[in-house]
Amino acid sequence: MTYSYDDQNIFAKILRGEIPNKTVLETKHALAFHDIQPQAPVHVLVIPKGPYVCYDHFALHATPDEIVDFTRAVGEVCKLVGVQAGDNGDGFRLISNSGDNGVQEVPHLHVHVLGGRRLGRMLQKVG
């Protein structure tokens, strides 16, 4: 599959400083910030700084340094916002939507860190 990155997406504009954000954490390869339309008491988005469309694009084409930094940034965000399950937090949900069937709205890899309350089932049972 060929990945086509749109450098005019909202997260690219945030990375360029054209749109403000409420930063939680910034690393060499990642930026984490509060979602402007939170779906839970804790709702933070973590994005790589590189031009990756979705998670599989990132997993297949990012450098090892980018992958490690991004993954560690997610863990640090969980710690910073108090949802880290292994550190007396109540846990969290990590979501990354990809493509049309995954209902991805912004064509830049991002993961949602959601927590602060019981979130219920991720999907309804089929059948």
Helix (H, G, I), strand (E, B) or coil at 30: strand
Q: Looking at 43, 57, 108, 110, which residue is catalytic?
A: 110
| Sign, Cα dihedral of 43, 35, 5, 49 | negative
Strand order in the sheet with 30-34: 23-26, 30-34, 42-48, 111-115, 92-95
**34 a catalytic residue:** no
- The residues, any chain, with a CB within 8 Å of residue 48's CB and separated by 6 or more, are 29, 30, 58, 62, 66, 70, 109
**Residue with the two structure tokens 């490690």:** 68
Please tell me the distance from the alpha carbon of residue 89 to that of residue 28, in angstroms, as a whole number. Answer: 27
Catalytic residue list: 110
